[in-house]
Amino acid sequence: MCGIVGVVEYAARQPNVEPDVLVRMSERIAHRGPDDSGWWLSHDRRCGLGFRRLAIIDLSAAGHQPMSTPDGRLTIVFNGEIYNHLELRRELESLGYRYRSRTDTETILYGYQEWGERIFEKMHGMWALAIWDDQRGELLCARDRIGKKPFYWWHRDGRFIFASEIKAILAHPAVERDIEWEELPNYLCFSMTSHERTLFRGVAKLPPAHILRLRADGTTELVRYWAPRFLPELQSITPTEAEEEILRLLRQAIADRMMSDVPFGVFLSGGLDSSINVALMAELMDRPVETFTVGYRDEERYNEHTYARQISRLFSTNHHEVLITERDALPLLETMVWHEDEPNGDPVCIPLYFLSQLTRSRGTIVVQVGEGSDEQFVGYPWMLREWRFGRTWWRYYHWLPRPLRSALYVIAKPFFQQRGAYRALDYMRRAADGDPLYWGGAVDIPPTYLELLFSRQWSDYARLPKMYARQLHAETARVLPNPTLLQRMVWYEFQHRLPELLLMRVDKITMAHSIEARVPFLDYRLVEFTLNLPDTIRIADGTTTKVLLKRAAERILPHHIVYRKKQGFAAPIDEWMRTVWYDYARQTILDSYFVRSGIFSRFAVQHLFYLLRSKQRRLGKSIYTLLNLALWHRRFFESRTT
């Protein structure tokens, strides 16, 4: 796990990438790699690559990057881990390649030399990388299938710049800071920007499962190299066979992710996913698993310590805990927005920050986490709710003529607004506008409230999230053959919320403490298997979340752990916003650039706080989204130190 940066100057008559610039960019992300650093220039100074290393495999100097082939033609910078690199290495050695290290980096380099872009189809793991071909004067960039590792790029005026984090791109003197205004409503609505662009103008994201080619003449090509395979044979699978195969695939995924030359452990919440991680890891180890848990000192109902301790005792783990309060968290908010790069509207970043800090302080550098399980196995109550809506109420409602649906929306609007039920109102708006039902699980400030939040001259921006939701559903239809409603919902999450909110939350916050997080539930072989399962197996009775995984887990976990009520890894943001944070959050948002400049309505912001306290609406997360935005602008645009 590392941090990578790079610059290509393809249009200048005398290109001159400066080493000092590469060093400055790399230093901005030194937390991603405290163990080593390096930079490299092509012979014509047209390309420069920089690197920060967190040593996980082959801790020796042989793992230094940037790394080149012996003939000097190809040079790579790579962030991630390739879990089957030894298998690929044996194949490459049989073809005559001779290694100088034990790293997976060298395997990617030789694999690309031998197989070209087909190497990405062979690799199992997580990655963001760039390979410079000195002979062709071309750069190839790639991001892993699911999007576990970030890759940002900027392209203008004959120059291409990339990095693991946006702040490194901003360190280049050619990059000017401005806001990508069309992404602002996406962030407000979905807690994150789109999967293609960021909140910084001109800074783009490389989407998961894509290759970006920068040719010698400066033209670019974006190509998808992976989509889930259609496995028709799974349509006749039995529930028992599915449960057994899920456990087999998870055992393999967890075993693969134990590849490490440094101490590793598990983030243990006490919930189903992290408990499965511990149970299967314990099977494979001859020493205690290191487990780490975070909780809240004054909000006991959010804690899962009791269950985490039960799992720890059951599997004899070496267990560590940290308890935090809202007063501990408040001073860290501005630090977190710097690590997040662009605002992340998920307050789980707060406990995750303390959990990562605890983990590193105990000497553990690699952890396994449970992200991706809920999306595959329908673990969220709102997924089941919307699946039922889509098969009943939504279908019947769409039989009504569209003018009648629009009229019903207009009639219902004042009733819902008076009660502050803007999220419920947005379902009627989607039906009236002909939008898809499913918008994912991260909708914070829906268009029905954005219409109030944006001032009159900015009112057109309130419609942009619905355009993006339509785009995501259209892309789902292109990737999956004749998807069911459930498959569309799951892949919608895999395109947006999972890689751009949840996985970026894990990556940015763990790497803030120089920790590598690995995600066994997102092994692509497991993803392809679960995505192809019939809905009747994955959902069964249509009322129990994650029923298939629970039945599989009965073989390795106690019944009361498997079937306890889902609690989820959450922060008590509503309670904090109503009490200790209330005045600070309200004043910070009202004093922010977005209110001062007239982009947001002052009344609408005040109304949110009124609904939070007086109507007891669960709007803490929506307010956190605005607070994070205000702090982000202060740090990256108003401060001169970033």
Amino acid identity for residue 31 in this structure: H
Nearest Cα to Cα of residue 295 among 306, 283, 285: 306
Residue 186 · residue 176 · CB < 8 Å:
no
Residue 172 · residue 7 · CB < 8 Å:
yes
From residue 613, give the alpha-carbon distance in Å to each of 418, 420, 618, 619: 15, 12, 9, 9
Angle at 203 between CA 199 and CA 204, to 5 degrees: 95
Helix residue spans in 496-617 (DSSP H): 497, 503-511, 524-532, 535-539, 547-553, 559-562, 573-578, 582-590, 593-596, 602-614
Amino acid identity for residue 254 in this structure: I
2 is catalytic: yes
Nearest Cα to Cα of residue 192 among 497, 461, 491, 503: 497
- Helix (H/G/I), strand (E/B), else coil: 399: coil
CA distance 72 to 67: 9
CA distance 123 to 211: 14
Q: One of 2, 47, 189, 349 is an active-site residue; which one?
A: 2
Residue 268 · residue 244 · CB < 8 Å:
no
CA distance 237 to 231: 11
CA distance 157 to 491: 36
Amino acid identity for residue 226 in this structure: W
Distance of CA 295 to the CA centre of its chain: 22
Task: Kindly give the interhelix angle for 272-283 and 305-314, rounded to the nearest 10 degrees.
Answer: 10
From residue 590, give the alpha-carbon distance in Å to each of 338, 595, 600, 609: 21, 6, 9, 11
Residue 402: count other Cβ atoms within 10 Å of its Cβ: 12
Nearest Cα to Cα of residue 17 among 29, 9, 27: 9
Tokens of 477: 């239809």
Amino acid identity for residue 310 in this structure: Q
Pairing state of beta strands 366-368 and 210-214?
unpaired
Nearest Cα to Cα of residue 166 among 7, 340, 8: 340
Residue 634: count other Cβ atoms within 10 Å of its Cβ: 17
Residues with a known catalytic role: 2
